[in-house]
């Protein structure tokens, strides 16, 4: 049985509260809590980068699992990393002591964890020489937010953290079921960091115009095009992942989504006929690029939300724009 056998998270020590964020953004604390769905988020130290956050999470799994049994290390975290044109996965493989593993990276911004789980499952199914794959991710995206830019308002929940998941051929705790993925490339230029790439290489102009921060060139136009399709696409990938898994929407017990504004979270629950207590909503963590559903799975297990036989769906969306969902059947005991 191919499944997720262990998860872990790393929470940076520094906490930024909604009250502190209100001062920084001039948005009332009540609005941040009620509309943004955020009471606090974590901020990493200057000395910790995306790779370090991923390593910190991965080490927690390897306290109980021999690093030598890991065959592949896949980095699925934020593309905003320590350096440009650089593979964090190589450093992570070395620092974790997973000397028998090869390493590579996947990048699809916030939608990447359900995709990485699918890729790991498919690799295990197709290559009998692979038994254990360690997925690791880091996010330090609080650093790319310009709080003086109202166009970036919906990204003020960006936060830092690390997450990891062990996908095993001989899993006992869970079984990875089917995935559903949908991409609409018409949104490819709606959210980006304009400076630092080949279009606008690093220059005095880039720095003077704050082009090193993430931006939304046309927020009104994006909203007009995205609002009609966003919730339907979330609903579509969730239902398709369940259908492809041979189960019904009625079987869905736990939802593990990305952190988004509270109204969107509520709309998704309503479409699925779920109660808020059946989902993990990261009110005290914020949005950490692709890490959110992995955090959700870790917290759902820790808080006893998942019961034996439950069907859960990890779902997220990433600018670009890709919606992705992967279903999971939970058993709850680990032999590794």
Q: Answer yes or no: same fold for 3-172 and 176-330.
A: yes
pLDDT < 70 positions in the chain: 334-336
Express each pLDDT in 53-102 by its tens digit: 999 999 999 999 999 999 999 999 999 999 999 999 999 999 999 999 99
The 10s digit of each residue's pLDDT in 238-268 is 999 999 999 999 999 999 999 999 999 999 9
What's residue 332's pLDDT? 87
Chain CA centroid to CA 54, Å = 12
Whether 117 and 296 have beta carbons less than 8 Å apart is answered as no
Give domain limits for the chain. 3-172, 176-330
What is the predicted pLDDT for the residue at 66? 98
User: Which pLDDT value is given to residue 183?
Assistant: 98
Helix extents (H) in the chain: 18-25, 29-34, 50-62, 88-95, 112-126, 204-208, 219-244, 262-272, 292-302
Residue with the two structure tokens 């936060």: 159
Superfamily of domain 3-172, CATH level 4:
Thiolase/Chalcone synthase (3.40.47.10)
Superfamily of domain 176-330: Thiolase/Chalcone synthase (3.40.47.10)
DSSP string of 127-189? -TT--EEEEEEEEEGGGG--TT-GGGGGGTTB-EEEEEEEEETT-SSEEEEEEEEEE-GGGTT
């Amino acid at each position: 049985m191919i499944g997720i056998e262990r998860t872990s998270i790393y929470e940076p020590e520094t906490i930024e509260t909604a009250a502190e964020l209100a001062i920084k953004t001039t948005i009332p604390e009540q609005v941040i809590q009620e509309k943004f769905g955020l009471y606090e988020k974590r901020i990493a130290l200057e000395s910790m980068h995306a790779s370090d956050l991923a390593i910190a999470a991965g080490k927690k799994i390897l306290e109980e699992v021999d690093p030598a049994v890991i065959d592949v290390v896949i980095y699925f975290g934020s593309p905003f990393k320590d350096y440009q044109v650089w593979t964090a996965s190589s450093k992570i493989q070395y620092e974790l002591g997973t000397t028998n593993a090869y390493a590579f990276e996947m990048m699809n911004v916030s939608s990447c964890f359900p995709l990485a789980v699918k890729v790991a499952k498919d690799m295990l199914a197709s290559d009998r020489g692979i038994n254990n794959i360690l997925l690791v991710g880091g996010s330090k995206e609080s650093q790319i937010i310009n709080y003086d830019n109202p166009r970036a308002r919906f990204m003020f929940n960006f936060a830092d953290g690390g997450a990891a998941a062990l996908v095993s051929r001989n899993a006992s705790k869970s079984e990875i079921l089917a995935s559903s993925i949908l991409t609409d490339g018409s949104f490819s230029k709606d959210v980006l960091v304009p400076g630092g790439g080949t279009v606008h290489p690093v220059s005095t102009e880039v720095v003077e115009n704050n082009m090193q921060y993430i931006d939304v060139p046309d927020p009104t136009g994006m909203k007009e095009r995205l609002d009609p399709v966003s919730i339907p696409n979330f609903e579509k990938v969730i239902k398709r992942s369940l259908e492809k898994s041979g189960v019904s929407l009625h079987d869905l017990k736990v939802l593990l989504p990305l952190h988004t504004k509270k109204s969107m979270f509520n709309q998704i629950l309503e479409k699925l006929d779920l109660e808020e207590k059946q989902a993990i909503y990261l009110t005290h963590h914020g949005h950490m690029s692709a890490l959110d559903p992995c955090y959700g799975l870790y917290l759902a297990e820790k808080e006893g939300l998942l019961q034996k036989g439950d069907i859960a769906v990890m779902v997220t969306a990433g600018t670009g724009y890709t919606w992705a969902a992967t279903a999971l059947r939970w058993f709850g005991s680990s032999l590794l």
